[in-house]
Chains A and B, each alone.
Chain A
Amino acid sequence: MSVRAQRLLGLAVFLTPALLWLLLLIVLPHVDLLLLSIRPKGGAGAVSPANYTRFFAEPIYWNTFARTAAYSILATFLTLLIAFPVAYYIAKVARGRAKGIMFLLCLLPFWVSELVRVYGWMILLRESGILSGLLVWTGLLPRPVEMLYNDLAILIGLVYTSMLFMVVPLVTVLDSLDDSLIEAAYDLGGTAPSILREIVIPHAMPGIAAGSIVVFMLTLGNYLTPALLGGKESLWFTEQIYNQFIIRFNWEQGSAFGFLLLILSSAIVWVGLRLTGQTLASAVQTR
């Protein structure tokens, strides 16, 4: 009995920081937001779902959300497309020191803040920027062109910002793929595309799911990149939340939007997992 009591005490000691963190920083604020979101503006009056129904009633709100979700899915997919060959090269082709150096190169941009990284893109893409200047200098463009403040600029920024979060789980999962499986498939008549489809991707699925969930959630909840690269008209859903809280000072509506973002994005992740036949558990514990 005393051994058991000791064990429980040990467990309590180790779990307390995590539980405190969960309770104080995640559960409590969310409960508060939930309570806020079901009240009318100003906080007085009866409980009502008006803040939630407004989201569906006003096309600008749910249109913005749909657009944000669609672009987030696209950005996640593009990130996967670019990160997969990079991760494959790091995990399977590079050896020894080269492997470590390449991994470090992927990590390097994340040593500066997101703001600086986004400014980097602004320097490249703006009308008086490097890319535009280069194209004019080579004669491909007659006059400088503004390349910022459009959807493509947002996408570029989002993909760049998300790369690492896709590369890391993919490298982990591809590292665990036994080289002899690839060789065996090759020996049995497999070609590179068929081996990728039948051996490598099925094996990497948990890593793909893990990376995609993280990138999708980060992209959907990103405020800085769409605001800076997309300009005033970026129409990103986080901007709507920001507007409610800061500009209109409508905390009740902002809280409702925050909750809708959480619920709808979770639903999208759930559908994504179901469609690819993955479970959250296998994605989380990417070997």
Chain B
Amino acid sequence: MTGPIDLEVRDVARSFGGFRAVQGVSFEIPKGSFFSILGPSGCGKTTLLRMIAGFLEPDAGDILIGGRSMLGVPPNRRPVNLIFQHLALFPMMSVAENVAYGLRRRGVGRAEIRERVEGMLTRIGLPGTGEKRIDQLSGGQKQRIAIARCLVLEPTALLLDEPLGALDLKLREQMKVELKLLQEQIGTTFVYITHDQSEALVMSDQVAVMNEGRFEQVDTPQGLYYRPQTAFVAGFVGESNRWQGAVAAAAGEEVRVRTREGMDLVARMADGLTAGHPVEVFVRPEGITLARAEAELGALPNRLAGTVETVLFDGAKSRVMVREARTGGEITAALPQSGRCADLAPGQTVHLGWEAGGGVCFRRAE
């Protein structure tokens, strides 16, 4: 996807007192894409978003929207709009007045405002709700009105500050799909910040993983999941078994690692490592094959045997915790969907195996 660039951030930094909230972040967002910034709380993502919206000025760097530098431009003159975490709908106004607010401020004529507001309400699937008060709306409806209030202004980009955070789980799942479909339908660039990886992975074309004020990796959701570039991304996106150890031998893409517990593993190497380097190995539970007999594992290079500690049944996301027989290390593996191991019980012996590429290995700071 290489269309025109809607939003460009160049080497932006911002500190509060001595705390460096955002340090040297750069990225470009092509027109019409859904871009997420994913990171734990306190990683600087809200600061970054507020700089794009114009509520904060960067200490260094530049922000370009539609090719124009936004330095010194106040929020009410920027062609981007922000959806607040708690939506910030105006309770003193009706739904229609909320959606019309920005148009009125631009001095659009009354008849045109009425037409555009009703058109917008129809597009978000809430026609005829204009006369309602804000407190008469459900959580999902409020969400859509907040989006309508911004989109009616036809912004270059829509910025969303964890707007699903306040919803209950079921509605959140539903809104995830709805937001994605809405974005595809209207084609506006969305910049979405969240600490919830599932929101970021499901909705986005591109995700930037942010940590301690920096971008760790900017990639497609698949790229982040299958080819993490840093230990932080490997640990933050998706679930992982995580072992510390040292490189025993390196050959091409593959490394042989001996973990602290004494397990010998073969994994893919992310950066140049040689024997003796302290490393961390990440293996996804869903990449591990679970078998009752060792023969079922075939030729998998990593194979371990152990006893079942606990079965955490959670439908499609069920997990088995296994204690490795030789070293006592703990491993979490996904329960196969086939129901083959549905009757697994604590105390039983199982065999685990995975491909060399199923594990990824990063240098560990000492």
Contact = CB atoms under 8 A, between A and B. Distances in A.
Interface string A181-219: 101111111110010001100110000000000000000
A180 interface: yes
Interface in B69-108: 74-76, 81-82, 84-86, 88-93, 101-102, 105-106
Given A178-B86, A183-B55, A183-B84, A188 B92 contact: no
A180 B106 contact: no
B153 A184 contact: no
Contacts of B82: 183-184, 187
A189 B106 contact: yes
Interface residues of A, number: 17
Q: Could you say which interface size class chain B belongs to?
A: 20 to 34
Interface majority SS (helix, strand, loop, mixed), chain A: helix
B234 interface: no
A43 to B, nearest CB: 55
Interface string B119-144: 00000000000000000000000000
A145 to B, nearest CB: 47
A124 to B, nearest CB: 42
Interface string B32-63: 00000000000000000000011100000000
Contact of A187 (B75, B86, B90): B75
Nearest to A199: B90
B161 to A, nearest CB: 9
Interface string B132-169: 00000000000000000110010000000000000000
A198 B102 CA distance: 12
Nearest to B103: A189
B103 to A, nearest CB: 9
Interface in A208-252: none
Interface of A: 178, 180-181, 183-191, 194, 198-199, 202-203
Contacts of B101: 185, 188, 190, 198
Given A187-B75, A188-B102, 12 more contacts: A181-B90, A183-B75, A184-B82, A185-B90, A185-B101, A186-B74, A186-B76, A187-B53, A188-B149, A188-B150, A191-B76, A203-B91
A194 B107 CA distance: 12
Given A183-B55, A202-B92, A189 B86 contact: no
A188 B84 contact: no
A279 to B, nearest CB: 15
A-B CB proximity, top 8 nearest: A184-B88, A189-B105, A188-B102, A202-B92, A180-B88, A180-B84, A187-B75, A189-B76
A181 B146 CA distance: 12
Nearest to B81: A187
Contact of B153 (A183, A188, A194, A202): A188
Contacts of B149: 188
Contacts of A187: 53-55, 75-76, 81-82
Interface of B: 53-55, 74-76, 81-82, 84-86, 88-93, 101-102, 105-106, 149-150, 153
A189 B90 contact: no
Contacts of A194: 105
B105 A191 contact: yes
A45 B299 CA distance: 120
A202 B153 CA distance: 24
Contact of A184 (B54, B84, B92, B106): B84
Contacts of A199: 90, 92
B153 A189 contact: yes
B76 to A, nearest CB: 5
A188 B93 CA distance: 15
A10 B220 CA distance: 66
Q: By CB atoms of chain B within 10 A, which of A180, A188, A191 has the most?
A: A188
A202 B106 CA distance: 21
A113 B53 CA distance: 51
A199 B84 CA distance: 16
B86 A180 contact: yes
B75 A186 contact: yes
B45 to A, nearest CB: 17
Q: Which of B76, B91, B153 has the most chain A CB atoms inside 10 A of its CB?
A: B76
Contacts of A183: 55, 75, 82, 84, 88
22 contacts: A178-B86, A180-B85, A180-B86, A181-B88, A183-B82, A184-B84, A184-B88, A185-B90, A185-B101, A186-B74, A187-B53, A187-B81, A187-B82, A188-B81, A188-B105, A188-B149, A188-B153, A189-B76, A189-B102, A194-B105, A198-B90, A199-B90
Nearest to B161: A180
